[in-house]
Amino acid sequence: MDAIEVDGLKRRYAKGFEAVRGVSFSVREGEIFALLGTNGAGKTSTVELLEGLARPSGGNVRVLGFDPYSERTAVRPRTGVMLQEGGFPSELTVTETIRMWAGCTSDARPIGEVLAQVGLSDRRAQVRVKQLSGGERRRLDLAMALVGHPEVLFLDEPTTGMDPEGRRDTWDLVRELRRAGTTVLLTTHYLEEAEELADRLAIMRAGRIVTTGTPEQVVAERPSSIRFTLPDGLSPAHLPTTLPQPTLREGRVEIRTPQLQSALTDLLIWARQAGVELPGLHARTATLEEVFLEIAQLPDEADEDSQAGGPGKHRAGAASGGMEVERV
Ligand SMILES: Nc1ncnc2c1ncn2[C@@H]1O[C@H](COP(=O)(O)OP(=O)(O)OP(=O)(O)O)[C@@H](O)[C@H]1O
């Protein structure tokens, strides 16, 4: 059994707007899974269903084998939740806030231990919540999520507002939790965060998952690129015909290819045989940012087609592993 199982999940808000349109994925025990997507893609709407905060309008969710909405009492004590907005009483100190929360939690961990884990011990522990910086508030949010020994942890944009050091500390902490066997589902706008932490990830757009897999799998589905400056006296027509059609911009050649190794080999053999230097030669696989931007820039009208189930243009299905984007 996977720690989290999501199948055909839908969420419709008042006035019929469908924010989650049939999402399926699973998170294995002890895995870190990242949900990515532009603003409004449906990440929080999805995560709230997994947290049992609302009933899905379609599909199924299982967390540790239970329905988090109808079997909330079985699931809630075993999960930790870090919402986007903590909403703490601002007059309480850090210690008072966490003590209050620990009082509502069965089998709470020692407060000092949790505060030390998120870097809020010593003098910061006596500061009032209203005096905390944005990043410190996120640390307090995280501390609350960790009070009850969670087996599954939901982190909604955990490092928003943190400085680079705070972000690194949080990443280390999340990795430490994974080593201890905690399952983590996080949403983030930081692609670097997903690359650093996620064992697997999914990119959402307009209520659907467009692509999912390990970070390596997700980028491997996009073409790699080879770039160099066109040597004097040569035009793209001189390049080996086995290479994909190159583009030329301000003297730089770009070749986009799904077969990086073989294209690069062809290019280098040709260059050696022709006695040609390729200045500024640069070859690399796609980046998560490129994949993300490509998905984010899909035309808007495609959403309507996909919501209506119309054929053609953009078919971004509840993914099981592949890039499911088609454009005419
Ligand atoms: N309570 C609500 N009632 C109606 N529509 C809502 C409600 N909450 C969210 N939405 C809409 O649902 C869509 C998905 O929102 P959601 O907050 O899930 O996206 P998100 O991917 O988490 O975005 P962000 O990155 O900005 O947090 C958006 O169009 C949003 O306006």
* Cβ-based neighbours of 160, under 8 Å, separated by 6 or more: 84, 134, 138, 189
Q: Ligand 1 centre and the CA of 23: distance in Å?
A: 15
d(CA 325, CA 159): 30
Q: Summarize the confidence of residues 143-147 as an average pLDDT.
A: 91
pLDDT band for 324, please (50, 70, 90 cuts): very low
Q: What is the Cα–Cα distance from 143 to 141, expressed in whole angstroms?
A: 5
Higher per-residue pLDDT: 111 or 314: 111
**Measured CA angle at 49 (ends 182, 144), to 5 deg:** 45
ipTM for the predicted complex comes to: 0.96
pTM of this structure: 0.82
CA–centroid distance, 19 to ligand 1, in Å, is 7
How far is the centre of ligand 1, averaged over its atoms, from the C-alpha of 40 (Å)?
5
Residue 157 alpha carbon, nearest atom of ligand 1? 27
pLDDT above 90 (res 72)? yes
The pLDDT value given to residue 327? 27
Asked if 195 and 178 touch (Cβ cutoff 8 Å), the reply is no
At residue 312, the pLDDT reads: 32
Domain 2-219's class? Answer: alpha beta
- Bridging pattern class, strands 208-213 and 200-205: antiparallel
pLDDT per residue as tens digits for the range 159-184: 988 889 889 989 999 999 999 999 99
pLDDT tens-digit readout, 208-261: 999 999 999 999 888 999 999 999 989 999 999 999 999 999 889 999 999 999
What is the edge-to-edge ordering of all strands in the sheet holding 4-12?
18-27, 4-12, 58-63
pLDDT band of 124, cuts 50, 70, 90: confident
**Local confidence band at 300 (pLDDT 50, 70, 90 cut-offs):** low
For residue 19, which of 30, 10, 7, 29 has the smallest C-alpha distance? Answer: 10
Which pLDDT score, from 0 to 100, does residue 135 have? 85
The model's pLDDT over 3-58, given as tens digits with 9 standing for 90+, comes to 999 999 999 998 889 999 999 999 999 999 999 999 999 999 999 999 999 999 99
In the structure, what pLDDT confidence band is assigned to residue 309 with cuts at 50, 70 and 90? very low
Query: Measured in angstroms, how far is the CA atom of residue 287 from the centroid of ligand 1?
Result: 27
Which residue has the least CA distance to atom 30 on ligand 1? 40
* Cα gap 147→103, rounded to integer Å: 10
Query: 77-114: string of b/e by CB count within 10 Å (b at 16+)?
Result: eebbbbbbebebeeeebbbbbbeebbeebeebeebeeb
Q: pLDDT by residue (tens digit) across 256-298?
A: 999 999 999 999 999 999 999 999 999 999 999 999 999 988 8
What atom in ligand 1 is closest to the CA of residue 37?
Answer: 21
Closest CA to 206 of 326, 39, 47, 53: 39
Closest-CA residue to 281 (of 296, 289, 270): 270
